């Protein structure tokens, strides 16, 4: 003890060795320009990472891979991707890490922070024996070296950090711990191709890069972005050797997502981190992300409460059509498939606006029809609806879309028929409609089409088909004059 007191750096080293959380606090200024703001969730994650690393250090069989879901801005990257490997090297310099993120630039940035920390004077004061091997020193691949005392200053070769992107090559590299930090960005999450690529890379490429398949764990840390993102893909397999830690940004709406459930007792005012993620901050994020993005990235639930973008349990079912005196106007909106074999449906949604500012969906026509059959059906439906129902047709981009819309208008001569070329993506156009559904202001006339219609809304915008939602939002926007369009004659 006297020796430690006379050598404060030795004391600090011992304190750091015992706690990753202490290590992070001590070296925080070298990886962040902002003051350190401690919170229980950071300390909890540090304890979990310590357990993971210590089992590897002892060569013990892997109990589980670790999947962590936390919101953006919660210090997850600094904790897991930057500080954690360096802390491990101060204790077990031989450890090898493979790290990956959705982009190579992001992965290299974390690696650069690691290198800068190890080179810093403060680190050298506490760990003069830990350095980076001079002839193996690049951001994408650097190796640790340890100077041994009492042996003529011999340098012993240690482990390394190899950084890549999800989907990148890993040939020739193996890791004692594999770290994947944010395998997808929000833009990629809406792409089925990118989702499949990320899941395939983790299953078929990363999994083969373990130093010892019985020992090496995989650490996946991310915000939820999709039902079948890497977290969802892993959890769907229901393996016993996966530990899932899930910490939503708030539990006013997402308490059931907390894992382990007892972590909810640490939340203050229902907030994970009242310093970084205040209610005002979360309110602004919801405005920026939208309700689906907020549910995934903050709530760690890629479907908002009660369903997807639409809270389908808020649809109100009615057994009969409204009295005509209670109806302001009625429209039938058609979303036409490009072709019979395109995998999409032609859908016509008939919706009425009531005098009490509620809306009733009266009928849905849906099918995969060839051009002639589709036009025949649209004409038949218009005849059945009557001339009081205004018909709208979504015009696809390009000359082909205009020609198709013109052909339908000619086919429906004698009826009030309009075409529009919508702007913005489907999610943006559906938002005003979803607000009214979620507030219980949209009714469905009980009919055989209800089930398929509701299920598509449940998973929108990541449902396989989106035609019914697109036609529904189109009808709603026409009834509420959300768009200014021109009549095509």
Domain with CATH 3.30.420.240 in the chain: 312-479
| Residue 94, token pair as written in the block | 């031989």
Residues 6+ apart with CB under 8 A from 416: 387, 389, 390, 391
Q: Flag whether the pTM goes above 0.75.
A: no
CA separation (Å) from 327 to 309, 349, 355, 446? 27, 16, 6, 18
Q: How far apart are alpha carbons 292 and 269 in whole angstroms?
A: 23
pLDDT of amino acid 152 = 63
Fold of 2-246: Rossmann fold (3.40.50)
Q: Start-end ranges of CATH 3.40.50.300 in the chain? A: 2-246
pLDDT of the chain along its 489 residues, tens only?
Answer: 665 566 778 888 989 999 999 999 999 998 998 999 999 999 999 999 999 999 999 999 999 999 999 999 999 999 999 999 999 999 999 999 999 999 989 999 999 999 999 999 999 999 999 999 988 878 899 999 998 776 566 788 899 999 999 999 898 899 999 999 999 987 656 577 888 899 999 999 999 999 999 999 999 999 998 888 999 999 988 889 999 999 999 999 999 999 999 999 999 999 999 999 999 999 888 867 767 778 889 999 887 555 568 989 999 999 999 999 999 999 999 999 876 655 689 999 999 999 999 999 999 999 999 999 999 999 999 999 999 999 999 988 776 778 888 999 999 999 999 999 887 678 878 888 998 999 899 999 999 999 999 989 988 887 778 999 999 999 999 999 754 333 333
- Which pLDDT score is estimated for 291? 72
pLDDT at 485: 36
The Cα 227–Cα 232 span in angstroms is: 6
Q: At a CB cut-off of 8 Å and minimum separation 6, what does 232 contact? A: 224, 226, 302
Tell me which long-range contacts 228-233 makes (C-beta under 8 A, separation of at least 24): 228/195, 228/199, 229/183, 229/184, 229/189, 229/195, 229/198, 229/302, 230/180, 230/183, 230/184, 230/198, 230/199, 230/202, 231/67, 231/69, 232/302, 233/199, 233/202
CATH of region 312-479, choose from 3.40.50.10860, 3.30.420.240, 3.40.640.10, 3.90.1010.10: 3.30.420.240
State the DSSP string of 4-60: HHH-HHHHHHHHHHH-HHHHHHHHGGGT-SS-----HHHHHHHHHHHHHHHHHHTTP
Q: Can you say whether the dihedral through the CA atoms of 336, 342, 344, 346 is positive or negative?
A: positive
């Amino acid at each position: 003890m006297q020796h430690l007191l006379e050598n404060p750096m030795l004391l600090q080293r011992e304190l750091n060795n015992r706690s990753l959380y202490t290590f992070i606090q001590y070296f925080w200024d070298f990886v962040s320009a902002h003051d350190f703001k401690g919170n229980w969730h950071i300390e909890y994650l540090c304890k979990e990472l310590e357990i993971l690393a210590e089992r590897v250090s002892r060569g013990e069989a892997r109990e589980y891979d670790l999947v962590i879901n936390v919101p953006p801005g919660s210090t997850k990257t600094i904790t897991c991707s930057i500080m954690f490997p360096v802390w491990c090297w101060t204790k077990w310099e031989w450890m090898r890490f493979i790290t990956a993120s959705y982009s190579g630039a992001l992965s290299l940035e974390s690696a650069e922070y690691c290198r800068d920390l190890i080179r810093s004077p403060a680190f050298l004061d506490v760990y003069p024996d830990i350095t980076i091997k001079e002839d193996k020193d690049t951001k994408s691949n650097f190796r640790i070296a340890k100077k041994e005392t009492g042996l003529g200053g011999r340098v012993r070769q240690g482990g390394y950090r190899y950084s890549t992107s999800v989907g990148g090559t890993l040939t020739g590299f193996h890791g004692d711990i594999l770290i994947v930090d944010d395998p997808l960005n929000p833009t990629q999450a809406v792409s089925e191709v990118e989702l499949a690529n990320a899941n395939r890379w983790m299953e078929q490429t990363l999994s083969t890069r373990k130093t010892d398949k019985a020992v090496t764990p995989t650490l996946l840390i991310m915000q939820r972005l999709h039902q079948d993102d890497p977290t969802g893909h892993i959890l769907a397999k229901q393996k016993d050797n996966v530990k899932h830690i899930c910490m939503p940004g708030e539990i006013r709406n997402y308490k059931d997502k907390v894992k382990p459930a007892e972590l909810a007792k640490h939340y203050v005012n229902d907030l994970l981190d009242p310093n970084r993620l205040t209610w005002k901050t979360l309110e602004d994020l919801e405005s920026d992300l939208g309700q689906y993005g907020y549910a995934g990235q903050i709530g760690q639930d890629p479907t908002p409460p009660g369903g997807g973008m639409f809270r389908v349990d808020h649809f109100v079912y009615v057994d009969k059509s409204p009295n005509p005196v209670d109806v302001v106007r009625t429209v039938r909106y058609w979303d036409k498939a490009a072709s019979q074999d395109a995998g999409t449906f032609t859908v016509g949604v008939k919706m009425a606006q009531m005098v009490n500012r509620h809306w009733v969906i009266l009928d849905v026509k849906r099918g995969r029809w060839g051009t002639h059959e589709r036009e025949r059906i649209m004409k038949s439906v218009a005849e059945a609806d009557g001339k009081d129902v205004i018909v709208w047709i979504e015009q696809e981009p390009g000359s082909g879309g205009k020609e198709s819309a013109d052909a339908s208008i000619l086919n429906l001569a004698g009826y009030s028929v309009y075409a529009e070329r919508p702007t913005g993506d489907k999610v943006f156009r559906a938002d005003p409609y979803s607000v009214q559904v979620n507030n219980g202001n949209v009714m469905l006339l009980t009919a055989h089409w209800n089930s398929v219609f509701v299920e598509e809304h449940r998973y929108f915008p990541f449902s396989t088909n989106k035609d019914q939602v697109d036609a529904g939002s189109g009808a709603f926007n026409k009834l509420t004059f959300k768009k200014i369009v021109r009549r095509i004659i």
